[in-house]
Amino acid sequence: MTPELTLGPLVLPTPLLMAPMAGYSDLPFRLAVRALGGLGLAFTEMLNPHSVLIGGGRKRTALLATSPEDRLLGHQTYGSDPALVVEAARWLEAHGAALIDINLGCPTRKIANRGAGAGFLKKPDQALLMVRAVVQAVRLPVTVKLRLGWDTNLVSTTGLIGELEQTGVKAITLHARTGIQGYTGVADWREIRRAVETARTVPVIGNGDIFTPGQALAMFRETGCRGIMVGRGILKDPWLIRRIWDALQGKPDIEPTREERARFFLDHLDAMARHYGEDTGPLLFRKWIPQYAPSLRLDKATKHRWLQVRDGRELRADIVKCLAIE
Ligand SMILES: Cc1cc2nc3c(=O)[nH]c(=O)nc-3n(C[C@H](O)[C@H](O)[C@H](O)COP(=O)(O)O)c2cc1C
């Protein structure tokens, strides 16, 4: 039986979530992954409250862009100033958001040193105050995403999970690494299991190191988590969530062909050109080249050449020629 995941009033079609990823989880990528199937919920990247409230211009428009096909979508925000985070959450609610997620997990020094993201795990009481303030300020379901702790003091499973549950959040996503670990080492799924055992009313979503359908099945089995969030794995293989969904339903794992991958790659480039503009889109797209290179079996010279191209149209023409697609 496939696990079911409900976040307050939101019943997810599948228990599989695409992680918020700054610079990657934008509208073109979300729509491309949704079209492949299996996705229960996607997130925006972490939104700076200043940009949400007073930012202007094309960057903010592109960050906040969504569409009727882009459902279900959670908006993630973060910050060290609870009043500002509350205001951003209210603004997002007034502008049609369906769910607010609070980031208590970003380990980037610039953010954590200011006391935001995973920086909050150094002072769990303040994290709780902020989360409670946001929950009380909006009618939308509010969720949190956190790491195990800032350092080896694993605040998540030594109290914080239970206390977060009391704030009224509708789900807790746990990336099973500490803040100082960044992305090194391995995610400690035993801590996800502990969080699952602690949380009585709120679903725990497991996160960390899912790169194959087999690993996702193992995480469900070993931790008892109610949902799984996939991050880096989906950047390398946009089919991953669909493949996990097939595995959960006992269907065979059908890997896409190189032709399908090449077509996806080009469609993604075109979608970015439409979204960000014919000049900027293809240049922004270059960050995807190293992600897709292994599954497209790109040789080093081609990859290097594409990363150097300064003209979007030239890049597209070269891609079409090299991958032999119309
Ligand atoms: C490029 C990149 C950007 C990320 N940006 C965010 C973000 O904006 N908000 C957030 O909560 N986590 C962010 N993360 C962390 C992921 O959401 C996820 O927790 C982490 O990658 C672990 O999952 P994985 O092992 O499946 O990649 C980011 C990760 C990467 C690799």
pLDDT in tens, 172-181: 999 999 999 9
pLDDT for residue 59:
78
Q: What angle do CA 164, 169, 174 make, to 5 degrees?
A: 65
pLDDT, position 307: 95
**Which pLDDT score is estimated for 3?**
77
Residue from 85, 191, 232 to probe ligand 1 pocket by mutation (most atoms less than 8 Å from CB): 232
CA of 302 to the centre of ligand 1 (A): 28
The predicted structure's pLDDT at residue 132: 98
* Dihedral sign (CA 160, 162, 165, 171): positive
Please name every residue paired with 104 in a beta bridge, in sequence order, or none if there are none: 146
Is 106 in the active site?
yes
- Ligand 1 atom closest to 211 (CA): 26
Residues with CB under 6 A from ligand 1: 19-24, 45-46, 76, 103, 105-106, 145, 175, 207-210, 230-233
Which residue ranges of the chain lie beneath pLDDT 50?
none
Among residues 106, 135, 199, 273, which one is catalytic? Answer: 106
> Residue for token digits 């993201």?
117
Q: What is the distance in A from the centroid of ligand 1 to the CA of 192?
A: 17
Task: Report residue 326 as tokens.
Answer: 């119309």
Which residue(s) pair with 174 in the sheet? 146, 206
Q: What is the pLDDT of residue 1?
A: 66
Q: What is the pLDDT of residue 56?
A: 74
CA distance 289 to 307: 7
Closest ligand 1 atom, CA of 105? 11
Q: Whose alpha carbon is nearest atom 30 of ligand 1? A: 21
Q: What is the pLDDT of residue 310?
A: 87
Question: Which of 25, 17, 18, 22 has the alpha carbon at shortest distance from 275?
Answer: 25
The answer to whether residues 55 and 43 touch, using CB atoms and an 8 Å cutoff, is no
Give the whole-angstrom CA distance, residue 230 versus residue 249. Answer: 18
HEC profile for the chain?
CCCCCEECCEECCCCEEECCCCCCCCHHHHHHHHHHCCCCEEEEEEECHHHHHHCCHHHHHHHHCCCCCCCCEEEEECCCCHHHHHHHHHHHHHCCCCCEEEEECCCCHHHHCCCCHHHHHHCHHHHHHHHHHHHHHCCCCEEEEEECCCCCCCCHHHHHHHHHHHHCCCEEEEECCCCCCCCCCCCCHHHHHHHHHHCCCCCEEEECCCCCHHHHHHHHHHHCCCEEEECHHHHHCCCHHHHHHHHHCCCCCCCCCHHHHHHHHHHHHHHHHHHHCCCHHHHHHCCHHHHHHHHHCCCHHHHHHHHHCCCHHHHHHHHHHHHCCC
Q: What is the pLDDT of residue 158?
A: 81
- Taking the model in full, what pTM does it have? 0.97
CA–CA dist 102, 134 (Å, integer): 9
pLDDT value for 57: 73
pLDDT for the residue 93 = 98
